Structure 1
Amino acid sequence: MKNIFLVFAAMLLASGSFAQKAIFYSISFPNANHHEAEIVMTIPEASTLPVKIRMSRSSAGRYATHEFGKNIYNLKAFNVDSSALTIKQLEGDLYEIPEHGPTVKISYTLYANYVDGTYSGIDASHAHLNMPATFIWAVGYEKRPLKFQFADLDQHGWKVATQLKHDGANVYSAPDMQYMMDSPTELSAFKETNWSVTNTDGKPETIRLSTHSDDAQPVVDNFGKMLQKVVLEEKAVYGELPAYDYGEYTFLQDVYPTDSGDGMEHRNSTCIVEAADKVEGNEVRMLSTFSHEYFHSWNVKRIRPKSLEPFNFEHANMSGELWFAEGFTQYYGELLLVRAGFHTPDEYARTMSGLINSVLNTPAAAKYSPVQMSNYAVFADAGVSIDPANKANIFTSYYYYGGATALALDLRLRSEFKLTLDDYMRQVWLDYGKPYIPYTIADLQKSLAKVTNNKIFAADFFKRYILGIEKNNYVDLLNKAGYIMQKTAPGKPWMGAITAKLNNGNVIITGNSIIGTPIYKAGIDVGDILKKMDGKAVDGSEPLASYLEGKKPGDKIVISYQNRTGNHQATITLEENPQMEVVSAEKAGQALTAEQETFRKNWLSSKVK
């Protein structure tokens, strides 16, 4: 009897929580020309305790800290009868309303003038809204449902593109704050095309492309047809589409020269911003971002690292799994464009060159593991700072590090197990993504052991290449597919990359010297002023590479330079550039063997049935 009573009491509490009224936001744009919005937040059934409200300091899909609170002002609070309430500012982005009635209203002005995947941008043509950069929220009320009313749409001629649930008229809703924060919204006179994909379970999923650009409708329709091919190739990797909330997935595309350029994944949508004049003529280049971001609707939004679940909007979110979440996605984003027929095998060779150089020819990859580079995202992922960092020597992008690791694992699975990375991704999807069980690095190792039926291989791979800093043998692996890895500039002299600027007749080095390069070994670094190279004056009239003409690896040149300790000379021994390139056997003048041709075809050909 006691247990029955407890269950009944729990049911009453649960029904009470479901009955909580939604927090309501209205947003209007009376001053859109000057990048402002007016926002009112209404909290019904507020607790009798002081209400704390705040702006976020992080954003879904970004891992560094951002100061969204700097862009709200004119903050005021009222009771339902419009009587003013006292607001105390506790921190830069945190406020408290000590005393209030049962319903609290908060109004503020938002300034938004940065169109990318993290911030918001408003002008007379549109309102591009990333939710953490737009809406203040109530601490402790995160489980409440939320509703949004977008005003002034008819006045501006705008429509609404979003993954939020459409409740009618201009009202949309989210079940809780986590979902709301993951739901970017575009208000504009965008053009749209959509299509239906029948999922493996027989249910249709609608895919929408909304494009705010200066393109005609036929251009958007044609781009949508190209995008359909990518969607189907990605579906083929996992064997099914995710079951999208409300049966829809939306691409929110904004294209204009003053945009910053970005792509940001979300649960049932993705925000893609292009700094271009229009879509027309740029379709294939743009597909790269679409392919990457759409792959995230499986890998990272549902195959979810435990370190990011739930996402914390009060500070940076650190995850040691980004080599997989972002890096494996980077690999597939480009690979699937080959399978879909948009890139050739020779073009893909250039992509592989970049991935491999990121792990074989960067000082950070020689010292740090993919996990350590993933953790550095809290500083590297569009984090804002004004002081210089030694990033070139201590950071290798987890996108490329992970992408190169995915490339090696794919080729090894194909050659050693007659399996593919697709098989592994499907296993991870079934183990952790589809049932939505947040994973750890150990879990990823378990899935590799399961799909290969080889615990020793899985443990060795993770120990050496994920937790460790060893590198795979790319020469042998690529050879199986008829690709050759060779020096980019064999026999050419090299002193290391130097970035410099001309200032009042002085050529000043502006970028850190890279560890291991001849210029680094000579002690020359950022801030030094170059005066002479090989006896010739350095005055900015000639590119620095021209001073090496006629030289060869092993030759020595003298560099005269100046810094705050005086005038100096350094002797540099030129080396051969260590950068590698991948080329097809055919391009190198070699014939493919039958085995290589079959291997490459099985790897790079379409998987759509």
Structure 2
Amino acid sequence: MPGPTRNTRPPVHYRVEIGDLHAHLFRVTLTIAQPDALQRVSLPVWIPGSYLVREFSKNLQKLEARQAGNTPLRVEQLDKCSWQVQCSPARPLVLRYEVYANDNSVRTAWLDAHRGFFNGTSLCLRVQGREKAEHLLEVPAPKSLKGWSLATGLAPRDTNKQGFGSYAAADYDELVDCPVEMGAFWSGSFTARGVPHRVVVAGATASFDGARLLADTQKICETEIRFWHGAKKAPFRHYLFMLNAVDDGYGGLEHRNSTALICKRQDLPRVGEARSTEGYTTLRGLISHEYFHTWNVKRLRPAEFESYDYSGENYTRMLWFFEGFTSYYDDLFLRRAGLLDNAGYLKLLNKTINQVMQTPGRLVQSVAEASFDAWVKYYRQDENTPNATVSYYTKGSLVALCFDLTLRGEAREHRRAKAGTLDDVMRALWLRCKAGAMREADFAEELAAAGHRPYAAELARWVHGRDELPLKALLQQHGVAVLEEPAQLAHRLGLRVGESQGVVQVKTVLRGGAAERAGFAAGDEWLGLEPATKAAARGMDGGWRMSRLDDLMHYAGDAKKVIALVSRDKRLMRLELAMPPALTTWRLAVQDAALMDQWLGPKA
């Protein structure tokens, strides 16, 4: 979109300056060229892609307004995130304020002596009545910080070599969908299917192998663009990965032509290290996941998200598709890009399956319900979360797996040469919905077209029901051996614990397990154990102090019951624990490589 000339005042202009590094303060000047007589502004309460009301206005302070002649105007607060100013429409309205930025995540804003980062939803007041007008973002170069650069997905208007200057956005939605990274970051670039891509990494150490990260990311991007468009071009002109490497952290947030990522420094690839660590594999899966969102949720999106309401929750029952199916394809594309072999892919799939099967909430809540409840459950997890809810990411990915393997299996069984796979369904939805609003009915119709039959029963059971998914049968039909292995002790007990400095801390007590029947509660410190009977006392040789969970089996031996000594709110308690029976978990293995390759092997 052509921008105005240099002499034309933009309708909405933000100037973001570094106010105080050590106080973590950005200073923002908002100029509205032609304000309303009673101009209202507001700050979003959430950021698309992260379904929780985060109340960004809590970090906004010292809001003041002025007009021509530097005349101060009264600013009236209307609610938790909205303000209004009575002014003259004939003169520009200037608002100045500060934003506290001390959240080192991908969702809000951060500023210190080493790095700056912000999403527009945290810093940029929304000018009501001007949301569809062009917005200009100006970030001047900080004079006191040498070596800093700036990166963003916004279109540059007038910038220097380091990226500081002004950027244009067609409207408010685009402005807040392009976060900004600042600092002395590492930068590299590549081209994927004719599209320039840039990767910037903050916080990397001297051992970081940037060339390897670029090469692997390029393979992922080329595979995904080819999946969606074949030989055609991607729906964006350039793409930016912003990766923040920290001591401990993980996550990502998708945007229309960029993504913000966070990972552990130790998970970055290292110079001279050819093998792929588990952490680096996880990082590549995150890159794949967020990049896939460029299509699946940023463009092809739930009908409820066709127009965002930034003032409150935006509900949808479709996150099982937009997050869950993306979670299915993220690791699958690592396999198709040649970054994993079949065994490596099965290891990741195995982890997801066991996570879901060890979550009692899968029998309590459907993935459609979990999608709707994301605002109050998934993003507000507590000790009861595994008992009450299921992740639309993990179970949603298994729902995708079931649909994909069902389509492939029925095509092979009925020898339908033109039968489709889930790949075909995804591409058909992209064309059907014109890369826009999608409903579950659209998915159902494209499934039926690909599989030559309706799939209403599967949608009812797998998406809206709480039945177990037919994973074992489907995997076995596609060359995967499903083996049973002894479960770890925590799973057998129905516990999730933390172990630190010789203390076993109970984090979660799972529904229906031996620990719940014994009376354990989240927050208990498990101190030790005693024999439950005199006969057992001879075998156990008295009581024992525990410093880790595995001590239980070491000291209990073959006892059928023990007395668990716990501390709850500083009160000592004795709980009779019946030793649980042996349980098993799954281990997936390659049984028929040729059959698996029909599913995993073909390039997208």
Q: TM-score, normalised by structure 2?
A: 0.85
User: Is the contact between residue 485 and residue 580 of structure 1 (CA under 8 Å) also seen in structure 2?
Assistant: no
- Helix, strand or coil at the partner of 1:499: strand
What is the 5 A alignment of 1:425-436?
425-432=426-433, 435-436=434-435
- The Cα of 1:280 is off from its aligned counterpart by 3.6
Per-residue deviation at 1:121?
1.0
Would the aligned equivalents of 2:297 and 2:322 in 1 still touch at CA under 8 Å? Answer: yes
Task: After TM superposition, give the deviation of residue 78 of structure 1 in Å.
Answer: 0.5
Q: What corresponds to 2:537 in structure 1?
A: none
| C-alpha separation in 2, matches of 1:264 and 1:510 | 31
Alpha carbons 1:502, 1:540 under 8 Å: kept: no
Note the C-alpha offset of 1:84: 0.3
Structure 1 residues 359 and 254, CA, compared in 2 at 3 Å: closer, same or farther? closer
Equivalent-residue separation in structure 1 for 2:489 and 2:67 (angstroms) = 74
SS of residue in 2 equivalent to 1:274: strand
1:349 aligned residue: 346
- Which stretch of the first structure deviates more once superposed, 84-93 or 417-426? 417-426
Does residue 471 in structure 1 map to residue 465 in structure 2?
A: no
Which among 195, 202, 205 is matched to residue 195 of structure 2?
205
Q: Is the counterpart of residue 52 in structure 1 residue 52 in structure 2?
A: no
Map of 1:193 onto structure 2: 188
Q: Residues of 1 paired with 2:292 and 2:344: CA distance? A: 21
Question: Which residue in the other structure is 1:97 paired with?
Answer: 85
Cα deviation 1:172-200 (Å, max 9, x = unaligned): 011111111111111233333333334xx
1:412 is aligned to 2:409 = no
Q: 2:370 aligns with which of 362, 370, 373?
A: 373
Q: Does residue 1:581 correspond to 2:562, yes or no? A: no
SS of the equivalent of 1:320 reads coil
Q: TM-score, normalised by structure 1?
A: 0.85
Please state if 1:270 is matched with 2:290. Answer: no
Kindly provide the amino acid, as one letter, of the partner of residue 64 in structure 2: K
480, 484, 490: which one aligns with 2:481? 484
**Residue of 210, 232, 244 corresponding to 1:254:** 244
1:41 shift after superposition: 0.2
The one-letter code of the counterpart of 2:324 is G
Name structure 2 gaps, 5 residues minimum: 1-7, 160-164, 271-278, 413-419, 532-539
1:27-64 CA-partner distances (Å, limit 9, x unpaired): 1114224322211000111112x222222110021111
Work out whether residues 160 and 188 of structure 1, in 8 Å CA contact, stay in contact via their aligned partners in 2: yes
In structure 2, the partner of 1:437 is: 436
Distance 1:257 1:349, change over 3 A: same
Find the counterpart in structure 2 of residue 146 from structure 1. Answer: 135
**Do residues 25 (structure 1) and 14 (structure 2) align?**
yes
In the TM superposition, what is the alpha-carbon distance from 1:308 to its structure 2 partner?
Answer: 2.0
Does 1:161 find its partner at 2:161?
no
What amino acid is aligned across from residue 234 of structure 1 in structure 2?
E
**Alignment map for 1:44-443 (pairs within 5 Å):** 44-48=33-37, 50-101=38-89, 102-153=91-142, 155-156=144-145, 157-169=147-159, 170-198=165-193, 204-214=194-204, 219-240=209-230, 247-257=237-247, 260-276=249-265, 279-281=268-270, 283-383=280-380, 388=382, 390-418=384-412, 419-432=420-433, 435-443=434-442
Q: Secondary structure at the match of 2:550?
A: helix
**Is the CA contact (8 Å cut-off) linking 2:529 and 2:546 kept in structure 1?**
no
After TM superposition, the structure 1 = structure 2 runs for residues 493-532 of structure 1, keeping only pairs within 5 Å, are: 494-499=492-497, 510-528=506-524, 530=526
In structure 2, how many angstroms separate the alpha carbons of the residues matched to 1:548 and 1:315? 50
Q: Distance in 1 between matches of 2:96 and 2:451?
A: 57
CA contact (8 A) 2:236 2:257 kept: no
Report the AA paired with residue 436 of structure 2.
Answer: I
How far apart are residue 95 of structure 1 and its match? 1.7
Q: In 2, distance between residues paired with 1:289 and 1:565?
A: 42
Report the Cα offset of residue 518 of structure 1: 0.9
Q: In 2 relative to 1, CA 147–322 (structure 1 residues): closer, same or farther, beyond 3 Å?
A: same
Q: 2:206 & 2:570 partners in 1: Cα distance?
A: 61
Aligned to 2:417: none
* Alignment partners' CA distance in 2, 1:485 and 1:137: 53
Residue in structure 2 matched with residue 597 of structure 1 by the alignment: 593
The equivalent of 2:273 in structure 1 is: none
Greater displacement, 412-421 / 318-327: 412-421
Q: Matched residues in 2 for 1:508 and 1:28: separation? A: 48
Give the Cα–Cα distance (whole angstroms) in 1 for the partners of residues 80 and 522 of structure 2.
35
Secondary structure of the structure 2 residue equivalent to 1:298: coil
Q: 1:47 to 1:498 in 2, by over 3 A?
A: closer
Shift of 1:558: 3.5
| Distance in structure 1 (CA, Å) of the matches to 2:190 and 2:497 | 47
